[in-house]
Amino acid sequence: MFLDNPSSDNWLADKAGLFELAPAKINLALHVTGQRADGYHLLESIVTFADTGDRLAFCDVDADDFFVSGRFASLLPTSGEGRHGNLVLKARDMLRKALEDKGVSTPPVAIHLEKNLPVAAGIGGGSADAAAALRGLMRFWNASLPDAELAALCLSLGADVPMCLRGEPLLAKGIGEELTALPGLPSLALVLGNPLVGVSTPDIFRRLMQKDNPPIGAYDSDWIGFLRTLRNDLEPPARSLVREIDQISSLIGAEGTMLTRMSGSGATCFGIFPSFEAAERAVENLNGQKPEWYFQAVRTVGQG
């Protein structure tokens, strides 16, 4: 169900008692280092998370329900059925089955997804929503799964879901399941920009010619300097498919970034700024130039 104005029903204010943020995921670097026999690509990625994103709310009801609102709500499926079903509902159903198999009660729940992030944008929107649904439902049902079982459930929902469940600075390897915390990665001031052109991740990988690129290697305390030596191997094929990536990267870079790069499989690009105030000024300028596109100043999690 879509809600044009959920606040008019006081749904969030009066009924929901539990909330979860589904923060935007940013791939500060993404190296494609190989490909498995089953076709899955092997990656190394430095990942962090923003202080903004989608928002989920949960409340008691007599029968399961699902509501969607927000700027990008109309682009989402409201059913969990099929290959392209909504990941929030897939996460709910898979977690419920896993818990009920253990004899845990999972009463009906209404979930409200406030969709603030662009769809198919390379910032983990659907995966972040699924991870937030798992976190929220485990709190709502006062239940948990063993770490290994939860990790397997996350990975079955998507390669980005395990890292989104962690929600902290990470080095991700393999297909996304090998996660190492990066506690030394600082909080960064970023501008996220997206031309609101959806990108198909499989299409990007099909256009990737070189699939055994050098790994990230050892990192040091000069994070900005280190990140400048890295890359996103998916950016060249994404630029060849979506020409707007060239433009949005140039626009962000012209605002005085320390580094500009594409996140994930695109089309979202980010710029790292010296301060959050500088990022906010950049967003004001960028919105003036391209008011129909998506720009957002964010702080990422991390030291400081």
The predicted-structure confidence for 175-230, as pLDDT tens digits, reads as follows: 999 999 999 999 999 999 999 998 888 999 999 999 999 999 998 789 999 999 99
Burial class (CB in 10 A: 0-12, 13-18, 19+), 62: exposed
Span 5-38, pLDDT tens digits: 444 344 554 577 899 999 999 999 999 999 999 9
Task: Work out the number of other CB atoms within 10 angstroms of the CB of residue 100.
Answer: 12
In the prediction, which pLDDT does 3 show?
56
Residue 40: count of CB within 10 angstroms of its CB: 14
217: left (phi over 0), alpha (psi -120 to 50) or beta: left
Say if residues 112 and 69 touch (Cβ distance below 8 Å).
yes
Residue where the block lists tokens 């008691």: 60
The beta strand positions in the chain, using DSSP E, are 18-35, 41-60, 65-69, 109-114, 170-174, 178-181, 189-194, 259-262, 269-273, 294-299
Burial of 205 (0-12, 13-18, 19+ CB in 10 A): middle
Note the pLDDT of residue 67.
Answer: 96
Give the tokens for residue 241.
């498919």
Give the three-state DSSP class for 20: strand
Low-confidence ranges of the chain (pLDDT < 50): 2, 4-10, 13
- List residues with catalytic annotation: 25, 160
Cis (ω within 30 of 0) for the bond into 121?
no
pLDDT of residue 162: 97
Question: Model's pTM, two decimal places?
Answer: 0.93
